[in-house]
A and B are shown apart, each in its own frame.
Chain A
Amino acid sequence: MADETILLGAVAYDPKVVAIWEGIRDYFNESGAPFDFVLFSNYERQVTALLAGHVDIAWNTPLAHVRVQHHTQGQSLSLGMRDSDQDFHSRLIVRSDSGIKGPGDLAGKTLAVGSRDSTQARILPLHFLKQAGADLDATKLLIFDTDVGKHGDTGTSELDVLEALRKGDAQAGTIGDLIWVLEQTAGHIDTSLIQSVWTSPGFDHCMFDALPDLDAGKIDRFRKALFAMTWENPQHRRLLELEGLKEWKPPREQGYDSLRAAVADQGYPL
């Protein structure tokens, strides 16, 4: 008899990842969906393992999601995402004394950007800024390639971008809007010194990916248990808070169109 256990891959970008997936494993097992997980140190290894069939489902960043779709010729299965994964934006943030009012003012300035595999702090903002008329060839990039392999999950390179603006090492920077708003609500931003002058079009973030031939029973059990989690249940709430969402959502694909275009345009290796 085939093993009915759903084996999920996740990337260990933070110690809390262990608590999240151990909690979700216990909850899934109690809900009649046998479940276990393996942790990877980077998304490239996780995508390779999914494509090789070593795990059933991968909890992927948008870049990893686009890679999986690329390698399965668009046949991979998307199983669900967080409410907080929908309608992400990138921001162009500037020092108030820089005179930069929008993408058109970047020529001759220093622009701090996040890791080369960060969707929200590098790949998409550069893509959208170019579309919005920024002359990036005339802009000096200050690059923070921190935590490469984590696809921006740690937020470290975005905090580096903010710090570069505070210190005056750059006049402008690109970060995701979630970090921008959370850092503001935490009281970490001096809004007289740093402000946002431009918001990118929306895009979507993480996704549960599976290969097209994944057992239908596993898919069904996974979805049922996942979407049964509610904020009002204390056991669920603890896990949802850790994972940064209030509600799991069904998948949608149009939120990744811009990323597919960006990696093609930038020649990013998939």
Chain B
Amino acid sequence: MSSESTAAVAIDAGELPMGGGLLALVRPALQLLEPGGVLAVNSLRDGLQDDISVWCKVQQHEYLGHDDATGAEGSTTTRHLIRRGPLSIARGQRETDMRLEPRDGRLTAEEVLSAVPMPDAADPTSGFAPRGAQVEPGGPRYPFDLLNRDHVAPPEVARLYDQAVESQWDANRDIAWDQLPEHHPDLERALDQVFTFLAENELSALYVPSRFVSRIHPAYAEVAMFLSTQMADEARHIDVFLKRARAGGGGLGVSSATTSQSLLTLLELTDFTEAAFLLSVLGEGTFLDLLRFIEDHAPDEVTADIVQRARNDETRHVHFGLVHVRHALAHDKGLYQRLENAVRRRAATMAGAGGVPDALQDGLTILAAGSTSPKAVSQGHDAFRGLLDEMHHNRIKRLEHAGFTSDQAQTLSELHTPNFM
């Protein structure tokens, strides 16, 4: 063996044969070396050189040879030298000294994100490798196309994910279904129509984010993880709203063509930020006011509880949409115009579709009235008109919060769909 073959790392392999665990020591030791670095394998096993040299050939390492030394007890130790080959060198630095610190006994996603920050741009050939892992070259290119942090991942996303996980509830167990009172059939029918509408819209809110999850590069996994909680929330809302519509002696109401047209325009969106804006900021934002209205006028505590729980979840979705859009607006000068164009395109598609769907309008009016007496209905109608004003007013506030000017916010709010979502 040549004098240049001084080993940087040596391992004691005892009598381990190639097929008996030897590689579990050799491979990690070689991983620690740079290409060209030399590993010494000290072995008590006869004839190992024939196996280890073939393995080196297959793996494109260089087997430099072996020499023997006799130990104190007369046993012969053979030193095999392997020069690490140039192939399959993983990209990036290996994580070392990584020790996440629990706070109050908790390890949050926010803590992980601060320890392993997201890159500005992501490499589609790293596939599903978790952020922070070393990546062997030669992997295939994945079809992820959301590769830019500033368009995908607001810094608040991990905290929102932590909140979402902590706030999950159970639509089977946590609702006092056995305490749901009997209502007048007219009032129950109005409620059932409202819940039919809510469930239909929540179905769209389940499907729309799902179209983007598979496009998000795993370097920004917290965004996909947050969206998965959002989808789990929507699944629960669909479940609980449909149960409520069927638990009071009535049953589902009507799905309107206006609602259907409006939700299709959401499903057809292909730009992630446009979708977050239209679905979460404008749509779910407007839904917050709708849910508050239903909660305020709910004729029983069970119904109010259902709607309040849903509203808490939706508040988180709106928050994510807001920070997403605000973060993207801060990094992309042309984004405002693209978002306005998206709202205008959607409004053009919806032109002629009419106002708030009739059945929903009637349902909300009777709900707010609490009965079908003309006097009460008159008050219910006033409450409904007040809801529309409230929605417009709060949309403008949310848009300003997202980073739009007052004029921009006014314009966008007026263009928003009469379907609310």
Contacts and interface: CB of A to CB of B under 8 A. Distances in A.
Do chains A and B interact in one complex?
yes
Interface of A: 83-84, 86-87, 89, 91, 177-178, 180-185, 187-189, 191-192, 195-197, 199, 231-234, 237-238, 246-247
B138 A233 contact: yes
19 contacts: A84-B58, A89-B50, A180-B54, A181-B18, A184-B17, A184-B19, A185-B23, A189-B19, A191-B17, A191-B20, A192-B20, A199-B47, A199-B50, A233-B138, A234-B125, A234-B138, A234-B141, A238-B140, A246-B87
A83 B56 CA distance: 12
Contacts of A246: 60, 87
Contacts of A87: 57
B57 A84 contact: yes
B51 interface: yes
A89 B87 contact: no
A244 B60 CA distance: 12
A84 B59 CA distance: 10
Nearest to A88: B54
Contacts of A86: 57
Contacts of A84: 57-58
Given A89-B50, A231-B87, A234-B139, A195 B17 contact: yes
Nearest 10 pairs of A and B residues by beta carbon? A184-B19, A191-B17, A189-B19, A237-B138, A199-B50, A191-B20, A181-B54, A191-B19, A184-B18, A177-B54
B31 to A, nearest CB: 16
A103 to B, nearest CB: 14
A182 B51 CA distance: 10
Contacts of A177: 50-51, 54
A125 to B, nearest CB: 14
Contacts of B55: 181, 185
A89 B138 contact: no
Given A91-B50, A231-B138, 15 more contacts: A84-B57, A89-B50, A89-B54, A177-B50, A180-B51, A181-B58, A183-B19, A185-B18, A191-B18, A196-B50, A196-B51, A197-B47, A232-B137, A234-B125, A238-B140
A121 B141 CA distance: 40
A180 B47 CA distance: 14
A233 B60 CA distance: 16
A183 B17 CA distance: 13
Interface in B1-60: 17-20, 23, 47, 50-51, 54-55, 57-58, 60
B51 A184 contact: yes
A192 B20 CA distance: 9
Nearest to A236: B138
Contact of A232 (B47, B50, B54, B138): B138
Nearest to B20: A191
Interface of B: 17-20, 23, 47, 50-51, 54-55, 57-58, 60, 87-88, 125, 137-141
B319 to A, nearest CB: 40
Contacts of A231: 87-88, 138
Contacts of B141: 234
A35 B316 CA distance: 58
Contacts of A188: 19
Contacts of B17: 184, 191, 195
Given A191-B17, A231-B87, A181 B138 contact: no
Given A89-B50, A177-B50, A83 B57 contact: yes
B19 A178 contact: no
A178 B54 contact: yes
A89 B58 CA distance: 13
B137 to A, nearest CB: 6
Contacts of B137: 232
Contacts of B20: 191-192
A196 B58 contact: no
A90 to B, nearest CB: 11
A187 B18 CA distance: 9
A91 B51 CA distance: 10
A237 to B, nearest CB: 4
A16 to B, nearest CB: 17
Residue from B137, B138, B139, B141 with most neighbouring chain A CB atoms (10 Å): B138
Contacts of B54: 89, 177-178, 180-181
B55 to A, nearest CB: 5
Nearest to A244: B58
Given A84-B57, A196-B51, A185 B87 contact: no
A206 B55 CA distance: 19
A188 B138 CA distance: 28
A123 B17 CA distance: 28
B411 to A, nearest CB: 48
Contact of A178 (B23, B58, B87, B140): B58
Contacts of B87: 231, 246
A180 B19 CA distance: 9
Contacts of B140: 234, 238
Nearest to B140: A234
A72 to B, nearest CB: 30
Contacts of A187: 19
B26 to A, nearest CB: 11
Contacts of B138: 231-234, 237
B125 to A, nearest CB: 7
